[in-house]
Structures are given as C-alpha cells and as structure tokens.
Structure 1
C-alpha cells in the first residue's frame, strides 16, 4: 500500500520532493498557494535560471557559509549531475558556464519548470490553496488543515515553503510557523545574498557603473570577514553585484562596526602604482589629475576620484607632491566605503536562518521531534553563495525528503 504524502510548497524543493516521492511509489498531493508552480525560478539568474553548479560535493559545501556539512548526505544522494540528467530526460538540456554555473541551454527559466512539472506527472496539484496548520497526533503528523476549512489526511508531510526572500513570489515564512507550532527551533532570520546600503554620496552618484576585477574586503575590528575579487555595481542606494551579494552572507549576525574597503587595482602594489605615476608625471607633467585618472578608472569615477584623495581635480600632475602621489596610490588600493546595513527581504535572493539543523536528520530530512514530518529547501537553516548553489540545496534536500517520506517509515512500520 503506497503512502500518501503532502508537500507544502511548489517551489524547486517542493517539486523535487514530489518527483522523488512519486518515483518511490508515493501518492503525492502538492499544495501551492500561488497560481503556478516554480514562481521563484523565474527570477533566478536574471531570468535565465542558474539552476545549479557543476561542482562535486566538497566544492558545493565550500560555498555554503552556514551549516554546509549538514548537506553532505543530500548532495551525495542527488548531485548536480543527477539534476542535469533528470532535466535532460524531461526535455530541458543544460549548459555549464563560467564558474561552473549551470543554466538551461535555452536560457529560459520556464523550461526548467516545465521539465520538473513533466517529471512529477501523476501528482495531485492544488494551486491557490494555502495550508493553515499541521494536524498532529502526539509526536506524529497526520495531515494538514487548509485555510478553506478542509483537511488533508496523510502519512507524511514535507515542508518546502521557502524562506522570507522575494515575498512577491509568495514567500512569507509560513514554514517557520508550522515548524515552531510543533516545537522546532527557528534560528534568527535575515536577508542574505542581498545588496548593501552605503552612506557615501559619491558612491550613490556613480549609479549604474560596473567595476570588474576589483577586490572587496570587510572587516570588523581587526577581524577580516570577507575578501574576494569580482564584479561590483554602484546603485542609487549603495552597491550590488555578485561580489556584494556574496559578501552579505558573511555579515549575518555581526554585531560590531563593519568597515568596507575597495581595492580598485588588485594586480598592482602601492609601490608599483607609485612607479607608474612617476613615469606619467615625467612624460606629461602638465596633464591635469582628473585626465590622468581616466587611465586607471572609468571616466565617471575618474572625475570624482581626486576629491576622494583631497586633491584638486585640475591640478597639474607635475606639481603633485610625493605625499599626494602616495595618497592616490593608497586610495586606489584601499578606498573606504561607509556601510549602512543591507537591503530588505524584498531584494534578498535567499534567507539566512531557519529551522535548526540539529533538529533534522541529515540522512533523511525528517524531523527529530515529529515523526513523518520532513523539511526541504530554504526553510532549513542553510544558505550558500551565488552561483547556483542555493538551488542545488533546494533540489538535493527536496529529493532526500521525498524519497525518505515515501520509503523509510513505510518500511519501518510494515
């Protein structure tokens, strides 16, 4: 006799849970409050859907700042290669791009959703339907109560509701409420992979400017929190871009003052920059400083850079003192940015925090507190850097939860 499994949430983890449970003979009902499945998939990877990262298990874990080891079993059970094979079998070919990022070959997120929907044919899908609460019998889950007053009895429930990021897609933290209602600990939640606010007016004036191959460093006191090289975008509120989103994940829970520094020329030392400046002074001493800086920086940034060094932009470079030349070199290497917090959940790619991993069996994704209750995806207290890692977490934990819900307790209870 097959087990009836209710999956709460029709995002990537919920759809994969339904696929895995069906594959093991489970009878699946997926409950989704939105009008369609996979809504968040449509906005990942700038609409192209960075569906995974073609790394091995250790490579995946290295890109997960919080609780990465918890996911070892899930990644071993369902790898990025397994995901690509499943998508291919259901009509969605994939390609691997820079940084091992995996995308649908068509560059259409909709093709990923269609492939997942095809793979879960046979599951009962309830759209525009919201779960209000879990139905418990002691320390076992027996079903779910819907907001329309109806109930669904079942043998197992998988909570795959996502976190709090992008609330416009329906992520409102329902899963945290369900988990807490049956005794689970939910760690503090905060936006992650999110842009950063700056107080600096000059930075905001550069709105739209992208800098490539720069190094961004974050410090709190003498402790270095983050230092990586990549691409950064200036915005009307501060900074964004892949480098900034990755940085934001390392700022979660930091209580002290955070100092940010930008190395605009990571390939050169201060001394090499001084040598270059001296050569240019010797070659054209009458050149104005703002013009010289166009050889180092984009035009819009070059125009304001002298002010950041407290030097007149129209000063002839031949009249620069050694101290002024050193100030230019040092500012190119360590430009201070004034941190003013991160943006809100509405702009966050993922949520940091969630259901405590110590209360979930990593080999099955089953609750250690409530029998036949499982968790998958962003609702769990795990989050990764950019590059497809977070979607792979969703797919791997969804697969593990779905397979376990359909088989493990059934075999134990026979």
Structure 2
C-alpha cells in the first residue's frame, strides 16, 4: 500500500510540475520577460499620501489577486515607489522601471507635474501609464500617446461639475486660492473659463506653495477681494488647511467656499461640522451602490479607510489593463493599447465606460454635497448625490483636443 501511495504521489508531482512547465511555456513569446510587472508610482510620504500612497498600492494588488495572479500564464508582479511629488524624480524612476526593471505599466501617478513628466517618458519608451491621481488635461493633449490613459477624472470635469453648479446658483465673482504647480494652475484656468463663459468675473488669485502651513496672508487677500466665491484650487492637506483657515478667519460668514477637488479623505480630516454643505465633483463614492460598497468593504479590511475615487480607479484600471492583455493574447504595447480602446468598461467604478482615441476614459461624473453631522449615518458616510454629469458633458469634447492622435498633426 505504501508503494502504491508513493507512486500516486510521484505521479501527482509530475502532473503538477508538467502543468507549471506548460504554463511557463504558454507565457513565452506572448509575455515579454515572462512576467507582467506593474509599477505604482505615487506619493508615499508627502501631502497626497493619504489620497494615494499605500491605498493606491493595495488597490492595484487587489486587482492583481482578483485577476488570479497570472495573465496568459505569466505571473503578475506589483512594485511601488515614492515620486516625492517631484517631476524629475518621477521621470527618473519611470525610466529605470521601463529600461532596467521591465515594468510594463505604471499606475496612479498622483501629482500633475509627476504625471506629465512620466507621460513623456512612457511615450518614448512605448510603455503604458494610467493616470488616476492627477488632473492636468495635458495627459490627453500635449503629452498624449497611444500608451497613456487618463482614467479617473481631470481638471475639465471638475471645473464643469463644481464650477458650473456654483455659477448656476448665482456665484459670479470668484477669487482663487491656488497651489502653485501644474495641478492647481490647470484647475484655476479651467474654472476661470467656466466662470467667464457664464458671464461671471474672476477678481484675482493667490498662489501658495505645495504643503503650505500658513494661509493667513492668502486669506487676507481673499477677504479683501470681495469675491462671492473663494475657489480652493488645491487638494489633500493644502485644501484641508485652506478650508480650516477660512473658518478661522471667518471667511464663510460673508463669502462661500467652492472646493474644486475635495476628496473623501479630506472631508474625513476636516470633519462634517466644518465641511457640511460643500459641493464637490467626484467620479465615484464608496456608498453609491451595492457593487461599490462590496469593493469598499474588502478594501477597508486591508487599509483601514474607505477608498476614494482614485484608489477605486487604480483597481478598475488595472483590471482593464490585464483584460486587454488577455484579449490581445500578448503584452505587446501596441496590441494592448488597441484592446484597451476597444473594450467597454463595466464594473463597480464605471458603467459603459470606454477609452477615447486621445486616451481619455469616458464615464459619468457626479456632483455631491457634504452631509451635515445630523444627516450622516456613521463613519465615512459623508456625501449625498446632487446630480449626474453624463460622460459627454463631463469631459472636454474631442473636437477641442490638441492630441496628435485626434488632429492628425505630425507628432
């Protein structure tokens, strides 16, 4: 009996070994380096680390695990690095990953300066990036390529969400508190267009450095402007500090704050007492439906907080990339690019989403209002829906694109 058992175990071992060999052989020739390596390039230690950071990494890991850990027989590996909110650091890491470490796709890319720099590197390297944590519309315009997708949101959708809602409600004179880098400047420019097209007027702006700690001089400028609306063209810790400073200086007694990019995590930090009533545009909210709640609960178990729209998009976009490899039957960048633009996106993040030729992922956006403490039913229950902004209205029309893939101009 022992001899029979031994022979059976040996046979099983041979079968398993044969399966592993067959799987490895299946990947050969179809997957470069016999591994699909995804890099999450994000803010791990700075002002945006709560909005992206470890939460972004975990979302991508969840997607890789849920996909089964392999694609076309090749293992999926997830690595990450901190870009330190510096464009040159981000570009250098992207080059190293693409040229030396065999990274096939870079995800997240919080910080617009970092995202724009990496998009240029990806274009030269013919490697994929998916931007979920940055807003600058240059990703699908000046630095567009077949290998760059802007997935979660952008400055245009924020401006035409929160900006239009405030203008339609009568807020026609604006003053901006703007973080002085590509994200804030781009957002201010987009909202300025919305305000002026609606017959409003921008009375001025004050630009502050990233990670500003003292907003007193900026608040005095905002008060002196006499503007009805103070547009907060920053995010993360800067937006939190600006909103708290506005409350301390009494700005909200005579002026109204419009948070142009406020995240769920920001509301959590500010608290409902100070944030209640603020309007914000987001692509997704964890409590919007049953599918979103199911993902959010699994995410919460790993991270200890509810996911924001960027973190949810990191999961969704990673799954879309892996499905594109599967459909293309290879990880060849051009074949995968074609597959990503041909496949619809239907999951907990987006319904009937699709990637346009300029790399913009088209999906509905949503205008939300921050609940009062009395309206909230518990921890992280902070938002209530105001309206849905259809994809074709939320994002910049294709006929306004400057992307060479759309215009046909020489690159």
TM-score, normalization by structure 1: 0.25
TM-score, normalization by structure 2: 0.25
Higher RCO by CA contacts (8 Å cutoff, separation 6 or greater): 1
Normalized per residue, which structure has more strand?
1
| Larger CA Rg, structure 1 vs 2 | 1
